[in-house]
Each structure stands twice: as C-alpha cells, then as structure tokens.
Structure 1
C-alpha cells in the first residue's frame, strides 16, 4: 500500500520572483522562475440574502517555473479575510511540493481534478491534486491536498473544529469510511490500517452540501489510484459541535 511517496528532497533555491494572486497582495513562489497568472473558472456564486460584497467567484492562479506547472484553485471577491486565508492555504498546498524539486529529473504538475469544490453561505472548500515525478522513478505519484475556510471567521476549519470530542468524531469517520470504501470496486484489497480512527487518515477533506468528502489517498494499490468517500452530514450529526452543521452544510 502506498498512501504517500518518498520525499523528493530539499529545494536548491535560486532567484525568486513574486506574483499576485486573485484580489490579494503579492505572494512568493519557489524555484528559479515564477509565472503566476489568474483566470476565471466559473460564474460568481452569491451568498443568499447577502450584499454583493459577499459574492465569491471560483478562479485559479497558474504557477510555472523550473520543473513545475500548476493551476491552483482560488477565489476572488467575497470577504477579504476569508478569501485571503483560503487562497494562501491552497497556494501553500502546491508550494510544499515545488520546494522539494532538487534537479532536472524532478517535476511537479497539477491534476485535472483540482478545483474550488464548493462555495457556500458560510464555507469555502478547495481540492488540489499534485502529480510528482521523481528522477528515475518508474511512475509519478499523485497527492491530494484540501482546505476548508469558515467564511464568517476567516479561519480554517480543522477536524478539531468539527467535533465536540475529536476521538468520537474520528471513530464515526472510521466506521463510515470503511463501509463506503467496501462499496467501491476500485478499492478491492484496501488496507484497513489506513482507515483506523486517527486524524492523519482523515485530515484531507472538503465540505460539500452532500457531506464531508474525504480524500483517503492510495489505500489499495497504485493502479487503483487515490480513493475518496463522502460521509453524509446526517451520519455525523451526533458528534458535530453545536452550530457546525449550519456552517459546513451551507
């Protein structure tokens, strides 16, 4: 089972340029050169009953330099603090892999499934797929990263923020995930040890109207690819903090 791949190494830094993300101040990219451009990726989504200042739109920022080319999900418009927190977190998800490029045999690209998954009245969710090619490796490895921002507070929502008791929440996630994975024919022969109730197995998730979509990684085989499941919010009602359902289910 190969949920993660070997770390490629530390970046041999050269000159660094800065580029502006959507509606935000300049941010720094790694590598010997950086090209960052933004493009719209869908019509604006307006929060029901809110003024236009609360309108967010899905967009992307294109990062390109020596050994990497990634389109990173972003949002424009909306509340400045929530936008800035979300965009910076999604950029960081790409940067952690860019910073591990060590030479011409290494490369990092973005996956086609990268997207702003959901813009809700109180929540922003984004998913980034990073494909890492190591020098001399037989095949690339794909990694999921995700981020959820509370629009009302402008801060990240973590597993600890979700549940009244973190361990109880993880216990429910573990049970639900095993049931859902066993229904997936691609996950035949999956490792049950990858679904035990510990935070590291469930920390990559997004909030959708249907439920908590969790990116589990390569829990079966490389050929099967990365596996994800969506746990309905109704299955988590007994362990969510009071008021949290209204935020993440919006």
Structure 2
C-alpha cells in the first residue's frame, strides 16, 4: 500500500486539487485525511472533491470538524476560540448540506494502517488522545512519550501545527506532512506526505493568484478572506515564526 497523507486542507480547494494530481501521478492506493479539511473558504466544494475519491479515502477528524458539527447543530462558541476563528467555523457550517454534515460526523480520532516497508502506522490529527494538543518538531522526548502513550506503533503521522517534519523520539518516528491549505513552511505551496515504501515529504505547486481570484469570486463572504489570501497563498509564515507562536501557547 502507498498512501498520500493530507492534513489541514482548510477548504483550500485549489491547493487540494494540486495535491490530488501529484498523488495520482505517484500511484497512491489510498488517501488519509488527517483532520481539519473543512474550515476554510470553500468547505462544501472541498468535501465534494474528497468524497469523489470514494473508498480510497480514510477519514480522521480534527478539531475543525468537531467544531463545525457543533456550529451546524446550532451550538455557540464556548469562548475557547477567538471570535475571528469562530466566525470561520460558523461560515463553514452554514455552507454545508446534510450530506456534507454526514461525511464528517462520527469520524475516528485516529486510525491504523499497514504501509509497505513501514509496517503498522498510526494516523491522528494532533495526538492520539486529543484533537487540539500541540506537539512540535522541537518538543521534548518526554512530551512525545506522554502524548502518545496509548499507542505502540513505531511510526505516527500527525498534523494540526501545519509544519512539515520527520523526527525520532524514543525510538519512534513522528511525521507531520505539513498543511495542504495553510502551511507554515516559508515557501508557498501545498504540503503533504507520501508513505510507502519510505516517507517522503512533498510540496505541490499551484497558481496562488488564480486561487485568490477563485476565492474572491466564490467565497467573498469568508471572514478574513483578504488575510487568508495574503498569509496562506501569496506568502506564508516560516517554521521559525510558527514555532515562536506555538511555543507561547
């Protein structure tokens, strides 16, 4: 089995399309969606594109899916998010049909797959015990040991922090493919990972200006659209900038 891991798509349909083209060229057998694919400028269209992949998709929920489901059901913010972030959650919920809602309902927190030459691999959004826990490339070995104590797989693929990395922690390999739609890697593009028989961190290029025009035409009411375009398409934060912010959290 060869698997493409797509994390943190965040409703960025042009970025997703670029990754799907490259993944198909690489001959993948399956796509693991490692959470946070729905909240963003084009959530319904993104879900439609992912659903069209059929049985080749393995879905894992992230905090965004949980939060959008809460908003879809009429729930209000619990105050844990800034108001600007909750506004994007409400926007995404308002774009979804009942069929979209069913796609993201009751998804697992983590899944396990057997990958060629890698053996059993565990996939999760943040950690195997939480969809919001932050584990960084420079987190301590003790932090990794505690956050993933409930699983034994030698390879774990996570997301959530939008920064690609591949590191060892107490004899276990931890891989973050980065973010398809909102990467923190310094160089614009759509980041993902190819697993089997090795681990390859990939970046797919796409036309950011064309994507910006598409968002302005089809998602003009997305909260903070101009900021989303400026900070996630035309230029993106570096890993150093993101680490400085996450470390404070």
Q: What band does the TM-score fall into relative to the shorter chain?
A: under 0.3
Q: With structure 2 as the length reference, what TM-score do the two structures score? A: 0.27
Greater share of strand = 1
Which protein, 1 or 2, shows the higher relative CO under an 8 Å CA cutoff with sep ≥ 6?
Answer: 2
Greater share of helix = 2
Higher Rg of the two aligned structures? 1
